[in-house]
Structures are given as structure tokens and as C-alpha cells.
Amino acid sequence: MTKATREAGPDAHRPGAIAVAWLVAVAAFFGACDRTAAADTGEEDAAAEVTEADGPPPHVEPTLAELRSAHTVTDEGEQCTTDVDCDSPLRCLEEVCHWPLAMTGDIDDATPMVIFVGERMEARYFLEVASESWELARGLMHRRTMVGDCGMLFVFDADSPRSFWMRNTYIPLDMVFVTDAGIVDSSVENAEPRTETRRLSDGPARFVIELNAGEVARLGLSAGSRVELLNLPADLMPRGQ
């Protein structure tokens, strides 16, 4: 045994040396835990980024030239009293036939909107409103485009079984049936354009919200999901919200 070995050998068995070794082992253990926790947090952050990236489509506004090239209308800018006075899909806005907001994406702080709380995420959509008989009858007919985060809200007097079809409707839609309490009753996904099959609610509903096809699945909406409507006149708001 060399001199260095003889001096080191007995030190390894002294209490102080044992304590130091124990502290080093503990520090190594907790360091590994910290690295594992950091890795877990990174995975959660990555998952959150995926969820956010998989949210509603971005708000992309088409140009008027694009809308005009896709639709044939003759009375844009003319005076009107109701939507019936305008070539569909134009609507009577401030007594003038205009392209509607779900097609232009022209929104502001007062625009009606809905917030869906689905199983996968919470998301906001901007809405046109149909509550008069002529608005309810026309709906989203004759439109070949709709901005990704926009849709239409149909408002009825009270909860009742609802039936919708896709006559003269050129884009596939998701339909969300909502009770007067602001709860999803049921939904129809990817309704086929230009068909007259009746899409029925499972139960009574006061509101129907039509969105671009795929949004119900994207959000994870199901019966019982919560819905919050904003920027509507008091008489059109859910009475149970």
C-alpha cells in the first residue's frame, strides 16, 4: 500500500466523509428530479402550443374584388328596407345593400360574438344575426365563402325542436343547437351543401349557430358544452346565461 493509499483509506470511513458523500448523493438525486420536471414542463408547453396552433382559423379578410368575382349581384350599394330587397348574399345594412360581415370579416368591438368552451379549447367566433323571418329563411344561402372565424346566429323565440336544411347553401357547415340556458344541446357536423335532408336537434333549442365545417371537431364541442353570447340586444340574449 502506497502512502497516498494509506492516507486516503482511513478518511473514507470517518463520519465527516460519510456525511459529504451522502449530501453529494442527495444533490445528484434532486438534480435528476429537476431535469425530469423541466422535461415534463417542456412537453406540456409543446402540447399547449399544439392546441393553440390547432385553434380556430385565422381572421383572413377577402378583398371586395374576390367577393365580386365569386358572386353575381346587381344591387350592391343600393337602398333597401330588408334583406329581401337585396340580391343574395348581400344584406340590408343601414338601409344599403352590403356584403355581410361573415363574408368580409369587417368587425369591430360591437360585433356580436360567441365564445365556445369545448373539451379541447375555448374559442371566439364573430356572428351575423338572423332573427326576423326573412333573415331566418335566407340564412347563409348563396355564399361561396365565409371567413374562418365567422358564422351566423339564428335566434328564435324559445326553446323548441329545430330542423335545418342546406337548400341553396354552397359551403359545408357545422350546426350547433343551443338552449336558452346557453348550453349546447347537440350539433350536426359537415352538412353537405345543396341538400334538403333535414338536420334535427336532439332536443329543444332556442339558438342555432352555423360555422364552417370542421369547427365542432376542432373545438371538441359536445352536448353540455357551455356557450357565451356577447354584444346582442337584451331581447336576443340567452335568458339563462
pLDDT band at 55; cut points 50, 70, 90: low
Please give the pLDDT value at position 8.
Answer: 37
Q: What average pLDDT does range 156-184 have in this prediction? A: 98
Average pLDDT, the chain: 84
What number of other Cβ atoms are within 10 A of residue 23's Cβ? 10
Q: Is the pLDDT of residue 50 over 80?
A: no
Q: Is the pLDDT of residue 19 over 70?
A: no
Please give the pLDDT value at position 44.
Answer: 42
Lowest mean pLDDT among 47-51, 201-205, 228-232, 235-239: 47-51
Q: Domain 108-236: give its CATH superfamily.
A: Protein of unknown function DUF192 (2.60.120.1140)
> Residue 93 forms beta bridges with which residues?
96
Taking alpha carbons only, the member of 183, 182, 187 closest to residue 164 is: 187
Please give the pLDDT value at position 56.
Answer: 63
Domain ranges of the chain: 3-51, 108-236
Asked if residue 89 has a cis previous peptide bond (ω within 30° of 0), the answer is: yes
Q: Contact 204/225 with Cβ under 8 angstroms?
A: no
Please give the pLDDT value at position 120.
Answer: 83
Separation between Cα atoms, residue 90 and residue 125, nearest integer Å:
20
Please give the pLDDT value at position 119.
Answer: 84
Q: What average pLDDT does range 35-48 have in this prediction? A: 41
Q: Is the pLDDT of residue 23 over 90?
A: no
Residue 34's alpha-carbon distances to 24, 37, 38, 124, in angstroms, are 15, 5, 6, 37
Lowest mean pLDDT among 17-26, 200-209, 220-229: 17-26
Please give the pLDDT value at position 121.
Answer: 83
Please give the pLDDT value at position 22.
Answer: 43
The model scores a pTM over 0.85: no
Q: Is the pLDDT of residue 113 over 90?
A: yes
Residue ranges of alpha helices (H) inside 127-175 are: 133-138
pLDDT band at 118; cut points 50, 70, 90: confident
Q: Is the pLDDT of residue 208 over 70?
A: yes
